[in-house]
Structure formats: C-alpha cells, structure tokens
Amino acid sequence: MKGLRSVGILSTGSYTPEKILTNADLEKMVDTSDEWIVSRTGIRERRIASDDQASSDLAYEAAVKALQKANISAEQLDMIIVATVTPDHSFPSTACILQDKLGASKAAALDVSAACTGFIYGITIATQFIANGLYRYVLVIGVEALSKITDYTDRNTCVLFGDGAGAALLGPVASDKGFKSFDLGADGSGGKLLSVAAGGSRNPATAETLEQKMHYLSMSGKEVFKFAVRVMNNATETVLSQAGYEKNDIDLLVPHQANQRIIDSAVKRFGLSEDKVVVNLDRYGNMSSASIPVALDEAVNEGRVKDGDKLVLVGFGGGLTWGAAVLVWGTEEYVE
Ligand code: UT7
C-alpha cells in the first residue's frame, strides 16, 4: 500500500454470554454424543445469549473493552462496521444501534454481510478509509447471536454454533507495522449451501415458512467442509506471497473456528506447530463472524502476540465467501 498510511489494530476486546451449552446438554436434546461432536468437530461447549440479549448487546460489551484498552472515547470514532448474519433487525443496522448505545456521535455506521468472513471483510473495508486519510479510528466488530437462528431439533447444525462478539479498533500505525496484504473472495453459486431461506424479500415470513422451519440456518456440511479447506489454504498462500513472506514467517495463524479438522489441514499445509495456531472452538463452537476477533483478543490477552509478530487472519463461510489478511502486530498509534 505504497503512498498510503499504514493501518493496524490498536486494541481488541471480546465478550461471550455467560450461559454455557455443553455436549452433554445437547445429548439430551438431539440424537448425538459427546464422542461424535468432539471427534468430528473439536467442539465441547458453546455460549448462548439470553432471551433479552441481541447482537448489539454483545457487540456493545466487546466494543467498550476495545475502546477502553486503547484509551479512545466513542466520540472519537469515525466509523463503526458491524459484521453479522444475526442483526438485531433487518434495519436499522446493528451498527447504527451500537453507534447510539456507545454515543459515537460523529461515527458513520454500517453492517457487513459476509457470514463467517465478515470480520475479514470489515477490517479490509476499514483499512481503506484510514489508509487514504479520510478516517482515523474505525471500530470493526464481528458479532453473532446464532442461537437465535439455530434449530435445536436439527443435530446437523445445533451442535456447531455459538454466540459471541469480538471487536478491533483500527487506526494508523508505523509503516513497518499493520496490514500488509488482503485477499477477499466470493462464489455466490454456492449460496444455498449455507443459508437462512426465509425472512427476507425472497420468502417473506408467513405461517407456512415458519411451519417449514425456513427461518433457521441450514448447511450442507460436507460441501462447505471441502470448500473451506480449499479456500482457507489458498487465501493464506495468496496473502503470504502478496506480503512477500514465506510460510515459515508465520508467527501466529488466527483462523475461523468452524471445525478442528479444517484448522488441522492448514496446520499441516503450512507446517505450523501448535503454539502458532489459535484455537478456541472447543469452548465456543463456531461463532461465525465473531470467531476470528474473539480468538485474536484471547491470544492478545494471553500474551501470545508480540510486537513485530506476523499474523495471518483467515476466514471462510456463507455466501460463499472467504478472506485473509497478513498483519504485522504493533498497537502503537502513529502520529504524523
Ligand atoms: O462457518 C462456516 C463454515 N462452516 C463450516 O466450515 C462447516 C463445515 N462442515 C463441517 O464442519 C462438517 O461437515 C460437519 C461437522 C458439519 C459434519 O461432519 P461430517 O464429517 O461432514 O459429517 P456428515 O455430515 O457427513 O455426517 C456423517 C454422519 C451422518 O450419518 P449417516 O448419514 O452417515 O448415517 C449424519 O447424519 O453423521 C451424522 N451426524 C451426526 N451424528 C451424531 C450429523 N450430525 C450429527 C451429530 N451427532 N450431531
């Protein structure tokens, strides 16, 4: 990004609801077993939002933590981007609701719909605004209340998903730090493989759509699995080569947390040791757009991310979509 400002992550924050749904709980709800879930996915438990918690409530908690950590007030924000497939409403956007809750009076606000890749799409969009000098501080949040669109009688999906929110405050950093490359992609021909069929303008809500459970998330797991392995590895290779790095340069891989077996394929392909990969899906399941920012925040809090470390963030999911970024870690704001 020659001639443009270098952009990085100044701080992170995350929030997951208190209620825990374990594999043992699910054994009582559908025909499944802890053994099947752990061996096929790696998931042991997930967090579930309470009845009165919507996505904006989860996002708010994560946002406040990120702002506090950077010592930036909500009034200083230039833009809020919320990546979610479980917005509070069709509109107003969840970003607008959050803007009001935070009191971010001068911030523009918009939602991004790119499913599990939403956070990567969000940081890529945010970076352009800061790099070209239009904005200084952009808050990007991946948040999902997937439990609200999950059919807890369908064992194919209900064991997989959880709720949570992760936030990242983006701003200018020194030129040797920050994002070095991005790769975004989409293949809309695979849209039906992972979707919510009703509730939009194609199939508006009717008694019939409700009866047919068309407001719940559905997924063709096997097809999405194959797609995920392919694009995750390809996108990682693309951003590494664009940044001029080799696989041995990766200090930390922060992948979307959908399935341990998908993560393992990347670990093998890039020859990574366990300490170079962030995994938290055992505790949270698949939180779609929240997976990557929550994993990143936890890694930061555990001291696993050091100044100058080269991170790869990579996601894939509904759309179908995928995206990756190389980030050289450094949270010190660059002041011209
Ligand atoms: O975040 C967005 C991207 N999403 C993903 O990346 C998810 C990608 N897909 C996956 O992670 C995996 O495909 C799943 C975990 C969803 C499924 O694993 P799988 O190894 O692909 O299993 P499968 O769908 O082929 O099902 C194998 C068997 C089936 O039984 P039959 O037909 O062989 O008798 C399923 O009915 O396992 C059965 N099954 C279950 N059994 C116990 C499916 N779900 C369950 C369950 N408990 N919860």
Give residue 3's pLDDT: 67
pLDDT of 150 higher than 70:
yes
8 A C-beta contact, residue 48 and residue 78: no
Give the whole-number percent of the chain exceeding pLDDT 70. Answer: 99
pLDDT digits (tens, 9 = 90+) for 280-312: 999 999 999 999 999 999 999 999 999 999 999
159 lines ligand 1 (CB under 6 A): yes
CA-based nearest residue to 21, from 12, 8, 30, 13: 30
Using 50, 70 and 90 to split pLDDT, how confident is the model at 325?
very high
Q: Please report how many Cα atoms fall inside a 13 Å half-sphere around the Cα of residue 142, on the Cβ side.
A: 29
Using 50, 70 and 90 to split pLDDT, how confident is the model at 122?
very high
8 A C-beta contact, residue 172 and residue 334: yes
Average pLDDT for 167-194: 98
CATH 1.20.120.140, domain 1-336, yes or no: no
| Residues identified as active-site | 116, 256, 286
Beta bridge partners of 315: 323
Structural Rg of the chain based on CA atoms: 19
Question: pTM of the entire structure?
Answer: 0.97
Q: How far is the CA of 293 from the centre of ligand 1 (A)?
A: 25
Give residue 336's pLDDT: 84
Domain ranges of the chain: 1-336
Using 50, 70 and 90 to split pLDDT, how confident is the model at 314?
very high
Nearest-5° Cα angle at 197, 84 to 185: 50
215 lines ligand 1 (CB under 6 A): no
State the Cα–Cα distance between residues 280 and 333, nearest whole angstrom.
29
Q: Whose CA is nearest to atom 35 of ligand 1?
A: 156
Give the whole-number percent of the chain exceeding pLDDT 90. Answer: 98
